[in-house]
Amino acid sequence: MISLADIEAARERVDGVARHTPLERSRTFSEMSGADVHLKLENFQRTGAFKIRGATNRIATLPPEAREAGVVTASAGNHAQGVALAAERAGVDATVVMPKFAPVSKVKATRGYGASVRLEGVDYDEAQAAAHGLERENGLTYVHAFDDPAVMAGQGTLGLEIADDRPDLDTVVVPIGGGGLISGVAVAVKERLGDVRVVGVQAEGAASAAASLSAGEVREIEGVDTIADGIATRSIGEAPLEVMREYVDEVVTVDDREIALALTLLLERSKTLVEGAGAVALAATLSEAFDYDDEETIVAALCGGNIDLNRLGTVVRRGLVQMGRYLKITVDLKDRPGELERVSSIVARAGANVYAVHHDRTSRDVAVNAAELELELETDDAEHAASIVEELEADGYEVEVLS
């Protein structure tokens, strides 16, 4: 079990490597939720995520012989970059094993920080198994992403910053992957401030924490499926579970639609870019996944901003769908002159902007005397999108909403 003294000692070690990131009140999200919402902008951290804190503390505590041999770790991306930079700053060789499908941007960034990168396995757990093999074969020290007291204490320095900057907070909302971050933050804020509620958030497609807490032991799920790849682990760690049982008040989940919406809102309204894992705390707040009072002071930890640009477009599109700002439909047309113009006129009168058009009269699913028109439209909101569908149907068209 880590203590407040462990976290305070870690703060001295990470000072000068990790930044003290901003904590800012969001008027937009306060109005949307009715609470007093503050955002811990850890996406502004060096390497783009909180992982540099725990990695720096762990490497700083290595004995001389371990520093000489080097370190190895496994990560889907953020911990990889944290270990790579922390090792480079400490003059220690680092090998990082990443899943084969890790975002390209994170792989390149990890190599850019000086680590040797190997791609193994389809997810974090398979990459971790490969990394432990290298640990045994080469006498390296394994730097765990979350199941390590020194790493947990390092992550807890984020909680000290929250306590310093917002001592009147009521609730802190923290993402959960393996549990290292929430463990450190929970100990820091509760030991420093006392009566503060700590709410953990997992993605619905990678939700093992609640089951583990209920069972009193680590429970592993069969697989993970979420856009929040930074917290896509099959289980939490043994050491974090021990801390979470004592310090974490509640664990909730959010689905990918809610995550995409929160990410898109942050980008549009706060001009803040986060990855899926970085959006889950705000997603839980906006979706009211946990109960809170009006004007309750809530700090949502935006734990990372390392999103692959290819994924960003997909996630934002999902967010726009949730906001009613993007509509994709198919319309069945008679295969005769003027039909395409007729549909275009209806869409234009409704005030929608066209992203893309695909007109098909050769598909086997289309009748010989018919054609299928697929439209991607920019709309104002959900009500506007619904009205376009209604107008087309009122004019006799069969419309299927794809998204």
339 and 196 in a common domain: no
Q: Is the pTM of this model over 0.75?
A: yes
For 71-126, the pLDDT digits (tens) are 999 987 789 999 999 999 999 999 999 988 877 877 888 999 999 999 999 877 78
- The whole-angstrom separation of Cα 271 and Cα 281 is 17
204 and 187 in a common domain: yes
For 260-295, the pLDDT digits (tens) are 999 999 999 999 999 999 999 999 999 999 999 999
Per DSSP, the residues of 296-359 read: -EEEEEE-B----HHHHHHHHHHHHHHHT-EEEEEEEEESSTTHHHHHHHHHHHTTPEEEEEEE
- The whole-angstrom separation of Cα 141 and Cα 245 is 28
CATH code: domain of residue 391? 3.30.70.260
Tell me the average pLDDT of the chain: 92
152 and 133 in a common domain: no
Q: What is the amino acid identity at position 343?
A: V
pLDDT value, residue 361: 65
CATH code: domain of residue 277? 3.40.50.1100
pLDDT value, residue 252: 97
pLDDT value, residue 113: 92
Among the three residues 112, 142, 172, which one is the final residue of a domain in this structure?
A: 142
CB 106 within 8 A of CB 85: no
Among the three residues 299, 318, 337, which one is the final residue of a domain in this structure?
A: 318
- The whole-angstrom separation of Cα 174 and Cα 236 is 14
For 363-374, the pLDDT digits (tens) are 656 666 678 889
pLDDT value, residue 19: 95
CB 81 within 8 A of CB 108: no
Kind of pairing between the strands at 116-119 and 94-98: parallel
Sequence-distant (6+) residues with CB within 8 A of 287 are 254, 258
173 and 134 in a common domain: no
pLDDT value, residue 205: 93
CB 327 within 8 A of CB 347: no
Q: What is the amino acid identity at position 136?
A: R
Among the three residues 93, 124, 142, which one is the final residue of a domain in this structure?
A: 142
Q: Is 197 helix (H, G, I), strand (E, B) or coil?
A: strand
Sign of the C-alpha dihedral, residues 161, 167, 168, 174? positive
Sequence-distant (6+) residues with CB within 8 A of 141 are 62, 66, 69, 70, 71, 72, 135
CB 157 within 8 A of CB 188: yes
275 and 174 in a common domain: yes
182 and 106 in a common domain: no
Closest CA to 188 of 7, 1, 23, 50: 7
Coarse DSSP helix, strand, coil percentages of the chain, rounded to the nearest 5 percent: 50, 20, 30
- In DSSP terms, 37 is beta-bridged to 298
374 and 272 in a common domain: no
pLDDT value, residue 366: 62
Kind of pairing between the strands at 399-401 and 326-334: antiparallel
172 and 24 in a common domain: yes
Q: How far from 320 is each of 221, 238, 270, 279, 403, CA to CA, in Å?
A: 31, 39, 16, 15, 10
Q: What is the amino acid identity at position 38?
A: H
Number of domains in the chain: 3
pLDDT < 70 positions in the chain: 361-369
pLDDT value, residue 364: 58
pLDDT value, residue 367: 64
121 and 191 in a common domain: no
CB 265 within 8 A of CB 292: no
Q: Where are the beta strands (DSSP E) in 47-138?
A: 71-74, 94-98, 116-119
pLDDT value, residue 81: 93
What is the extent of the structural domain holding 391? Answer: 325-401
65 and 43 in a common domain: no
Burial class (CB in 10 A: 0-12, 13-18, 19+), 327: buried
